[in-house]
Amino acid sequence: MATPIGNARDITLRALDVLQAADLIACEDTRVTAKLLAIYGIRATTLAYHDHNGEKMRPQILQALREDKIVALVSDAGTPLIADPGYRLVREVAEAGLPVTALPGASALLAGLSLSGLPTDRFLFAGFLPERGGERRRMLGELAAVQASLVLFESPRRIGEALADALQMLGDRPAAIGRELTKKFEEVRRDTLAALAQHYQKVEPPKGEIVLVIGPPLEETKIVDETDIDRALGAALQTSSFKQAVADVAAATGASRKLVYARALRLKDAG
């Protein structure tokens, strides 16, 4: 059985049980994982599995699984397979008809969203922002119309520039910066994109991993002349029911349903 496990300070008891039972532990850096294993007195065979050797190592891992061995995939930091190439291993394990499961643990992505104070009913995780300004602005422009909170990873060295670009491409939305989430020096700063951009462009770059959460597009209040509403209602009432005409005109003009309903009643009484 293959099991992805996060290498976190607050590792779960279930993850420790799996590591104790594992025949093989695949990890980004065996030296990093060795420190974790030493803390808990775990002795197991480890092998390096990362971007550069994946093609070579996946057949070895699949063979171990075919021999009914337990293989655990451990990340150096964060949650395995999130913004991580490990998904290729899971895909091949699944295609081979072998069992695979995940042990949820600390996740900066979800922690940042939870602590942001921004809507969580719908969100899009867009991974890392591009390093180059032009590419970063292009990506943010593509995300501008997404009707959901945006969750992004960013380098602490570029966070000031990224916030300025987000302000330019998305408008001034509420946002939150999470630093070193799920770790000892966790910190969250909440404000508008404009205020956050101003702050991080004036101070020294923060240390640690950064999660940027940006609220969904702000609803625009359309100012519509009542004469336009009456004209639209007059046309809509010729072909639709009273209720449907009110709904259609409210949607088309952006005016409140209450206002459109009141204008429709006046037109009905006048007629």
pTM over 0.75? The answer is no
Q: Are 211 and 115 in contact (CB under 8 A)?
A: no
The one-digit pLDDT tens for each residue of the chain (271 residues) are: 555 555 445 688 898 999 999 999 999 889 989 998 999 999 889 999 988 898 999 999 999 999 999 999 988 776 777 767 678 899 999 999 999 998 877 788 999 999 999 999 999 999 999 999 889 999 999 999 899 999 999 999 999 999 999 999 998 999 999 998 888 889 999 999 999 999 998 888 888 889 999 999 886 545 567 888 888 888 888 878 888 888 888 877 777 788 888 888 888 877 6
In the three-class reduction of DSSP (H, G, I as helix; E, B as strand; rest coil), residue 153 is classed as strand
Cα(152)–Cα(86) distance, integer angstroms: 19
Domain map (residue ranges) of the chain: 2-95, 108-214, 226-270
Cα(218)–Cα(209) distance, integer angstroms: 28
Q: Are 63 and 71 in contact (CB under 8 A)?
A: no
pLDDT at res. 49: 92
pLDDT at res. 8: 46
The Cα-based distances of 45 to 7, 154, 161, 219, 266 in angstroms read: 16, 34, 43, 55, 80
The CATH number that domain 108-214 falls under is 3.30.950.10
* 2-95 classified as CATH 3.80.30.20: no
